[in-house]
Structure 1
Amino acid sequence: MRHGTHSNRAVRVQTPQSRRGPLWQALGIVAEILLTAAAVCALYIVWQMWWTGVEAEQVQNETTKSVNWSDPAANGGDVKIAKAQEGEPPVQPENPKYGDLIAQVYIPRFGSQWHRNLVEGTTLEQINRHGLGHYQSSQMPGQIGNFALAGHRNGYGQPLGDVDKLQEGDPIIVRTQDYWYVYHYTRYEIVLPTDIWVIAPNPENSSVNPTKRMITMTTCEPKYTTPTHRWISYGELSYWAKVSDGVPKELATTDSSGAVKFAISETPSIASKIGSLDKVVYLALVTWLILFIAAAVAWRWPVLRAIRSGERRRPDASIYGLLVRLQPGVMPIRWLLLILLLFAASAALFQWTFPWAASNIPFLRQMSNFVAVPE
């Protein structure tokens, strides 16, 4: 017979885990700083490769709306194929001023979304904002000689980012207010930046008077690193047509019912409709403030209260950990508040910090081809 049996199992008492040493905490903070710096660098690349293109598209859309040019897509309806005209191509515009919109350029090889404005002048102020710039010393569309233009190959919408994909015979269509000028790509070459003969009236032999009606597109080479050379693409005029007659056959498609449609989609991207990011920054901060006040009233700061009362151990030193703890409310709310702050900070980098850095830091200025444009 057994008397008074009991369990001899030991009872475990959990004790708070001790904090890491000062050296490890310092290394943790350094790691957070390095990761933040890496994230900022990645965001700068996104700004340079993508957002500058969005801003350029915004300016191009505004420029297109400001001129009274007919819609080649006939507002989505059926269009006609414009008849190729004979005789001397008309010159339009005759005396453009610096910064004026002189044409729109379509290159189907670059995709059904690709079309860029062409303005007078090739300074960075123009091609960063407007897409393509016309060398003021060169001929106008359709003229005998060399109709030369320039554009970025990377950033700012990279209008000439795919010049290496052009194939012999590809159409390059230039539309002024009233006329189409249809060129066809012939060849390319890579030259030094000092080889300015490529935009001469006769780039094939600058000492001989021109006899051809040529187009020359200049851009940087290589694409993603410091541009040590220039990629030059040539084409020759095939024919011209009237905008009032329709669109060139190179820009037309036929659907299953036989209806002719404009092949280029001119619908602005969703990102280009955002506008200036300063409104995004302010909206994110106002949203954060409203949620912050609401969470402080409803829950106060439960994490800080638990640490002070000893219910939770004092955490290791951490920049982002501190930011989370300083937000009121339960954990999902605290993380949401932190995300709103980080989003506002990222938008502020795009709106103010990166443009300033690209304008004032020599290395970034050389890399980004950025110029500050007065509003």
Structure 2
Amino acid sequence: MVRIPVPIRAPMTRGRVRRGDANGPAGAPGARTPREAGSSSFGRGPVRRSFEGDLSAVSDFAPIHVDTAHGVDDGPRDDQQADSPNGPRYGHTKTGFGWQLLGVFAELLLTLAAICGLYIAWQMWWTGVQSEHLQQQQLQSVGWSDPAQGGQAKIAAPQQGDPPVQPQQAFDGDLIAQIYVPRFGDQWRRTVVQGTGAEELNKHGMGHYPDTQMPGQLGNMAIAGHRNGYGQPLGDVDKLQSGDPIVLRTKDYWYVYRYTTNKIVLPEQVDVIAPNPEHPGQQPTARMITLTTCEPKYSTPTHRWISHGELAYWAKGSDGIPKELSATDGSGAVRFVNNQTQSPMSKLSSLVPVMQVALLCYLVLFIAAAAAWRWPARRAIREGRVRRPAASIYGSILRLQPGVAPVRFLLLLILLVVSAAALLQWGFPWAATTIPYLRSISGFVTV
């Protein structure tokens, strides 16, 4: 910086100025004449003085900075240090209002995309986790024996004669049977409860049509299940092949059916679950099983996929397991092939405990960060040490958090996790049952 001599006018005087008044009384030792002092006798002449200090010492204006290469500048640049010990002070953001509005709109679009993705995760995954939890809970409540208990099993011999009917009757929500379909994998097992309402199909695996026959009864036992979401029990129904076993296990008996054929019908064609689906209105002549699910799989279910099977044989549960669910190792030992294990997430009855723990962690960390660092990001903006940022939804939430940057990001992450859990627990179930479009694609499949 180069110091510039600046002309400064001497103050005006009202009376005559005696010789020597410019620098003391006339005649005083060392007094100078007005000419020597550089002013007229009336104090109107300019006085040129070379100031060694900053011009701010004599002016209310900011000092003039001279760059010998680029001329005069009006203040410190963003990448320069000002003369002030606190560094440069910044004002509002340089981003225009239109760009800020566009940025906020982009954040809203990204948020909407994240919510849509989370809804798909809820539909495809979390509903299945909840259904698995309730199925395990119901199985434990009835106390049925485990076919794979002890790791070894024996093959139950097929029984002769008409099979027993079990159960004789049931109320909505009661456990009727467990169903196994080896074609769907050795991890596939679902419970069958009485009723085909949303409560039964969404939370308890598969539902038995109350007006159809019970396991082992002459006629048609019809079962409904989701093809997509809620554990998608019949998601692979199109993979069934002729002769594939469909096995039901009640409290005391096994019923082994064989898959025969399938058809795609309109929801109004309810004769597919009649006692004699091939000849509705006539007396049944066979013991059948019918599985109904939605079609198509990944969009609004305008039709129903119907799978039929016929009873091959029945066996006693106390005698062992059906050969269709068994395998023999090299030593001749028989084992139960279905090795479904409960997933860790399905042990949670809800996400409320997760949200409670997360909010507690957030509160403790928030208080600790506020005590240790307070709000450095907001303070820096307020003091002008950083430029005021552009408008941002998540940026504003982030700056409301106390502490240094890593702590603020962690606090924001906890808030996002709690928000996602709340959507999974309450938001999406409400939307799927209230919003017409979402309700239409939720996979409700009864006919």
Same fold (TM over 0.5): yes
Task: Give the secondary-structure state (helix, strand or coil) at the position aligned to 1:136.
Answer: coil
Aligned to 2:99: 24
CA offsets 1:63-108 (integer angstroms, 9 cap, x no match): 1011021111124x21101111111111111122222101000001
| C-alpha deviation, 1:240, in angstroms | 0.5
Aligned to 1:68: 143
| C-alpha deviation, 1:37, in angstroms | 1.3
Q: 1:347 to 1:154 in 2, by over 3 A?
A: same
Aligned to 1:156: 230
Q: TM-score, normalised by structure 2?
A: 0.78
Pick which of 12-21 and 99-108 moved more.
12-21
| C-alpha deviation, 1:40, in angstroms | 1.0
Task: Give the secondary-structure state (helix, strand or coil) at the position aligned to 1:214.
Answer: strand
Structure number with greater CO (CA < 8 Å, separation at least 6) is 1
Report the AA paired with residue 439 of structure 2: R
Aligned to 1:302: 376
Task: Give the secondary-structure state (helix, strand or coil) at the position aligned to 1:342.
Answer: helix
Report the AA paired with residue 270 of structure 2: I
Report the AA paired with residue 66 of structure 1: S
Q: Does 1:119 align with 2:193?
A: yes
Q: TM-score, normalised by structure 1?
A: 0.92
Whole-angstrom distance in 1 between the partners of 2:94 and 2:359: 34
Matching residue within 328, 336, 349 for 1:254: 328
| C-alpha deviation, 1:146, in angstroms | 0.9
Report the AA paired with residue 104 of structure 2: I
Runs in 1 of length 4+ with deviation above 6 angstroms? Answer: none
Report the AA paired with residue 154 of structure 2: K
Report the AA paired with residue 105 of structure 2: V
Task: Give the secondary-structure state (helix, strand or coil) at the position aligned to 1:74.
Answer: coil
Segments of 5+ residues of structure 1 without an aligned counterpart are: 1-7, 371-375
Report the AA paired with residue 192 of structure 1: L
Pick which of 276-285 and 226-235 moved more.
276-285
CA offsets 1:201-249 (integer angstroms, 9 cap, x no match): 1111114322121111011111111111100001111111111011111
| C-alpha deviation, 1:369, in angstroms | 5.2
Task: Give the secondary-structure state (helix, strand or coil) at the position aligned to 1:368.
Answer: coil
* Bigger Rg, which one: 2
Task: Give the secondary-structure state (helix, strand or coil) at the position aligned to 1:37.
Answer: helix
Residues 94-113 of structure 1 correspond to what in structure 2 (within 5 A)? 94-113=168-187
Task: Give the secondary-structure state (helix, strand or coil) at the position aligned to 2:441.
Answer: helix
| C-alpha deviation, 1:255, in angstroms | 2.9
Aligned to 1:339: 413
Matching residue within 205, 208, 212 for 1:131: 205
Matching residue within 239, 259, 275 for 2:349: 275
Whole-angstrom distance in 1 between the partners of 2:443 and 2:357: 31
Aligned to 1:175: 249
- The percentage of counterpart residues that share the same residue type is 62
Whole-angstrom distance in 1 between the partners of 2:94 and 2:112: 26
Q: Does 1:200 align with 2:274?
A: yes
Q: Does 1:141 align with 2:215?
A: yes
Whole-angstrom distance in 2 between the partners of 1:355 and 1:120: 22
Whole-angstrom distance in 2 between the partners of 1:306 and 1:257: 75
Task: Give the secondary-structure state (helix, strand or coil) at the position aligned to 2:263.
Answer: strand
Q: Does 1:351 align with 2:425?
A: yes
| C-alpha deviation, 1:363, in angstroms | 2.2
Would you say the 8 A contact 1:106–1:174 is kept in 2? yes
Whole-angstrom distance in 1 between the partners of 2:294 and 2:391: 47
Segments of 5+ residues of structure 2 without an aligned counterpart are: 1-67, 71-75, 80-89
Q: Quick check: which one's helix share is greater?
A: 1
Matching residue within 113, 116, 126 for 1:41: 116
Q: Does 1:184 align with 2:237?
A: no
Report the AA paired with residue 94 of structure 2: R
Would you say the 8 A contact 1:124–1:369 is kept in 2? no
Whole-angstrom distance in 2 between the partners of 1:102 and 1:86: 23
Task: Give the secondary-structure state (helix, strand or coil) at the position aligned to 1:61.
Answer: helix
